[in-house]
């Protein structure tokens, strides 16, 4: 476990190969989160495949291919355990190389401090040391600090190209680091924005109409949330605040339009708050060394009791399937794991608890499967599907056909409300199935 700050202690600079040599058979290695995952160390560790065995690696939201997976498709040496999937992680899970660790994202620091028994080696990318001896985590704060506290050996891979992001806990002092290695200097990974469809715009129109001056926004990932930001910008709502899990390009659009001031926030007044960023260079340029952009640990951004401290929190997220009682499936397709619980449930709860707050779960009414349109609103969830947001927590549900508030509604009222915003081609079938299963009693009209 890393030691307390000792101002005179200096981290030792070594090569990536020497750093990888610190990993011994049977060890647990942590790569950290998103843009903070190491690249040079990863390649050096992969090169030791034949000299190692039973190496278990934790990571989350990989933004580049992991050398330890590419060199070991049969997992003879390296096994990966992942807190939240990106597209690459999903493909590797489909191939049987990655296993998911369920979590509410905001609990991640506490999980490391209370329940993760071993972190033998931790290596993350960070900005070069600043004048105070701090290696800044850049746009990947999340749970990094708690993870490093648990590690027996801490290695920093220097990334001069990483944006320096302000935040009271968004870094680690060199006295708490054992070794430093040089990164490869590659440009930051950019995540292109998915195109905004006509369906996204139709959904966004309903959500944007609910946003008030002074609202505090949490924006999720995807075409619909970005469309919501575009609609908000067109509506000209003022004095918006941001307290979000992820920094997305839609927030950059609102900032550049002069609509974000944070003036009416109760905490972090005047600041845009997030726990990680992933987007385009335009986003990275905005957050780089900008004191108005603050990266906090994820237990600060995502725990409901902290979210609710701001009034009028508006949480906007997407889901892939919902049943007629309001259970939202946002991380799986049957037994195929897609992403993770992330912060959706915690922001749904935090927004509801916020004075005047609202949470919105958005979904297109249909999707295409092997050339056949299917309804995302269903009477019965696909077998194996994981419920991300329970029916008791779901508030506003939005499709391109309308918006339904499920709070305070009976099971029958929920079913009627959701059938009304399903695709017209499926409404009759949904009502029939609801009556067959006594979700809609025979007397209910």
- Digit-coded pLDDT (tens) for 340-355: 999 999 999 999 999 9
Q: What is the pLDDT of residues 100-155, one digit of tens each?
A: 999 999 999 999 999 999 999 999 999 999 999 999 999 999 999 999 999 999 99
> pLDDT averaged over the chain?
95
Q: Exposed (0-12), middle (13-18) or buried (19+): which is 31, by Cβ within 10 Å? A: buried
Q: By percentage, how much of the chain surpasses pLDDT 70? A: 98
Segment 170-187 shows an average pLDDT of: 96
* pLDDT one-digit tens code per residue, 222-271: 788 888 888 888 887 899 999 999 999 999 999 999 999 999 999 999 99
At 104 the pLDDT is: 97
Cβ within 8 Å of residue 256, ≥6 positions away: none
198-436: CATH topology is Glutaconate Coenzyme A-transferase (3.40.1080)
Identify the band that residue 8 occupies on the pLDDT scale cut at 50, 70 and 90.
low
pLDDT at 1 over 60: no
445 CB-contact burial (10 Å; exposed 0-12 / middle 13-18 / buried 19+): exposed
Average confidence (pLDDT) over 176-190: 95
Work out the end-to-end distance of the chain between its first and last CA atoms, rounded to an integer number of angstroms: 62
Mean pLDDT along residues 82-88: 97
Assigned fold of 12-182: Glutaconate Coenzyme A-transferase (3.40.1080)
What is the SS3 assignment for the chain?
CCCCCCCCCCCEECCHHHHHCCCCCCCEEEEEEHHHCCCHHHHHHHCCHHHCCCEEEEEECCCCCCHHHHCCCCCCCEEEEECCCCHHHHHHHHCCCEEECCCCHHHHHHHHHHCCCCCCEEEEEECCCCCCCEEECCCCCCCHHHHHHHCCEEEEEECCCCCCCECCCCEEEHHHCCEEEECCCCCCCCCCCCCCCHHHHHHHHHHHCCCCCCCEEEECCCHHHHHHHHHHHHHCCCCEEEECCEECHHHHHHHHCCCECCCCCCCCCCCEEECEECCCHHHHHHHCCCCCEEECCHHHHHCHHHHCCCCCEEEEEECCEEECCCCEECCEECCEECCCCCCHHHHHHHHHHCCCCEEEEECCCEEEECCEEEECEECCCCCCCCCCECCCCCCEEEECCEEEECCCCCHHHHHHHHHHHCCHHHHHHHHHHHHHCCCCCCCCC
With helix as H, strand as E and coil as C, how does 194-249 read? Answer: CCCCHHHHHHHHHHHCCCCCCCEEEECCCHHHHHHHHHHHHHCCCCEEEECCEECH
Q: Specify the pLDDT at position 233.
A: 85
Domain definitions of the chain by residue range: 12-182, 198-436
Is 70 exceeded by the pLDDT of residue 363?
Answer: yes
Encoded tokens for 33? 């989160």
Mean pLDDT throughout 385-392? 98
Q: Are 176 and 199 in contact (CB under 8 A)?
A: no
- Residue at token pair 């944070």: 262
Nearest in space to 263 (alpha carbons), one of 314, 209, 215: 215
195 band by pLDDT with thresholds 50, 70 and 90: confident
Asked whether residue 198 carries a pLDDT value surpassing 60, the answer given is: yes
The whole-number average pLDDT for the span 309-328 is 97
Q: Identify the pLDDT of residue 5.
A: 53
Would you please indicate which residues are annotated as catalytic (active-site) residues?
245
Predicted local confidence at residue 236, as pLDDT: 78
Angle at the Cα of 172 from the Cα atoms of 167 and 176, rounded to 5 degrees: 160
Contact (CB, 8 A) for 302 and 104: yes
What would the pLDDT profile of 276-302 be if each residue is shown by its tens digit? Answer: 999 999 999 999 999 999 999 999 999
Q: What's residue 4's pLDDT?
A: 54
CATH fold match for the domains 12-182 and 198-436: yes
What's the rounded mean pLDDT across residues 33-37? 98
Q: What pLDDT is stored for residue 117 in this prediction? A: 93
Please give the Cα distance from 324 to 103 (Å, whole number): 25
């Amino acid at each position: 476990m890393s030691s307390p700050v000792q101002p005179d202690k200096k981290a030792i600079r070594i090569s990536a190969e020497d750093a990888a040599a610190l990993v011994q058979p049977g060890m647990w290695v942590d790569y950290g989160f998103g843009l903070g995952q190491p690249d040079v160390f990863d390649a050096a560790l992969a090169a030791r495949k034949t000299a190692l065995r039973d190496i278990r690696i934790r990571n989350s939201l990989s933004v580049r291919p992991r050398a330890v997976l590419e060199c070991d498709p049969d997992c003879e040496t390296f096994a990966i355990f992942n807190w939240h999937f990106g597209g690459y992680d999903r493909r590797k899970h489909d191939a049987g190389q990655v296993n998911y660790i369920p979590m509410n994202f905001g609990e991640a620091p506490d999980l490391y401090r209370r329940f993760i028994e071993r972190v033998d080696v931790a290596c993350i990318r960070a900005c070069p040391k600043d004048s105070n001896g701090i290696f800044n985590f850049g746009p990947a704060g999340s749970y990094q600090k708690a993870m490093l506290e648990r590690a027996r050996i801490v290695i920093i891979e220097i990334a001069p190209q990483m944006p320096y992001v302000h935040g009271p806990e968004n870094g680690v002092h060199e006295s708490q680091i054992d070794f430093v290695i040089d990164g490869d200097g590659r440009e930051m990974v950019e995540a292109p924005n998915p195109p905004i469809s006509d369906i996204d715009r139709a959904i966004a129109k309903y959500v944007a109409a609910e946003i008030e001056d002074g609202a505090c926004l949490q924006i999720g990932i995807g075409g619909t949330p970005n469309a919501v930001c575009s609609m908000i910008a067109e509506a000209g709502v003022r004095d918006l605040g941001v307290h979000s899990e992820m920094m997305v390009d839609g927030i950059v659009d609102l900032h550049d339009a002069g609509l974000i001031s944070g003036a009416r926030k109760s905490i972090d007044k005047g600041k845009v708050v997030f726990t990680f960023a992933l987007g385009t260079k335009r986003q990275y340029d905005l957050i780089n060394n900008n004191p108005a952009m603050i990266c906090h640990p994820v237990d600060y951004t995502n725990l409901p009791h902290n979210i609710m401290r701001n009034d009028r929190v508006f949480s906007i997220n997407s889901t892939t399937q919902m049943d007629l009682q309001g259970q939202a499936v946002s991380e799986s397709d049957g037994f195929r794991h897609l992403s993770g619980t992330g912060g959706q449930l915690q922001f749904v709860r935090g927004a509801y608890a916020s004075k005047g707050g609202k949470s919105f779960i958005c979904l297109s009414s249909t999707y295409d499967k092997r050339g056949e349109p299917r309804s995302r609103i269903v009477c019965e969830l696909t077998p194996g599907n994981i419920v991300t947001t329970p029916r008791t927590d779901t508030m506003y549900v939005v499709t391109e056909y309308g918006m339904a508030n499920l709070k305070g509604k009976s099971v029958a009222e929920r079913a009627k409300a959701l059938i009304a915003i399903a695709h017209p081609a499926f409404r009759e079938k949904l009502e029939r199935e609801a009556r067959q299963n006594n979700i809609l009693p025979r007397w209910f009209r």
